[in-house]
């Protein structure tokens, strides 16, 4: 389930910061992840393993921190982006 969540966070970042390259977004996601030091069940078994043995970043994706890092990376120092709303007719 992690892949769809991370892809969604990456899509949000790309929508607000279209100038960012894929590698930059990957770095932002990796560095903004919230560390998770617990043990989890290894997929397909009952064995408990450290979360970071199954995860590239060793953490859980964090949208707010990722947006803040993207703002810094892009040279924006304003507040969080406003939510885009559709016009209702």
Q: How is residue 7 written in tokens?
A: 């892809």
Q: At 2, which helix (H) or strand (E)? A: helix 2-16
pLDDT of residue 57: 83
Contact in structure between 67 and 80 (CB atoms under 8 Å): yes
**Ordered alpha helix ranges (H), 17-82:** 22-32, 63-73
Q: What is the pLDDT of residues 14-72, one digit of tens each?
A: 999 999 999 999 999 999 999 998 999 999 999 999 998 888 888 899 999 999 999 99
Return the higher-pLDDT residue of 76 and 68. 68
The distance from CA 77 to its chain's CA centroid, rounded to whole angstroms, is: 19
Q: When comparing pLDDT for 10 and 74, which is higher?
A: 10
pLDDT at 81 over 60: no
pLDDT of 87 over the 80 cut? no
Quickly state the pLDDT bin for 2 (edges 50, 70, 90): confident
Q: What are the structural domain ranges in the chain?
A: 2-73
pLDDT of residue 89: 47
Contact present, 61 and 13 (Cβ < 8 Å): no
Name the nearest CA neighbour of 37 among 27, 21, 17, 52: 52
């Amino acid at each position: 389930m992690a892949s769809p969540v991370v892809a969604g966070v990456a899509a949000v970042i790309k929508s607000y910061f279209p100038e960012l390259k894929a590698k930059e977004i990957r770095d932002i996601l990796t560095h903004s992840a919230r560390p998770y030091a617990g043990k989890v069940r290894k997929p397909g078994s009952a064995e408990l393993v450290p979360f970071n043995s199954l995860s590239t970043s060793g953490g859980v994706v964090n949208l707010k921190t990722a947006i803040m890092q993207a703002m810094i990376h892009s040279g924006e120092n304003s507040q969080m982006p406003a939510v885009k709303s559709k016009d209702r007719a």
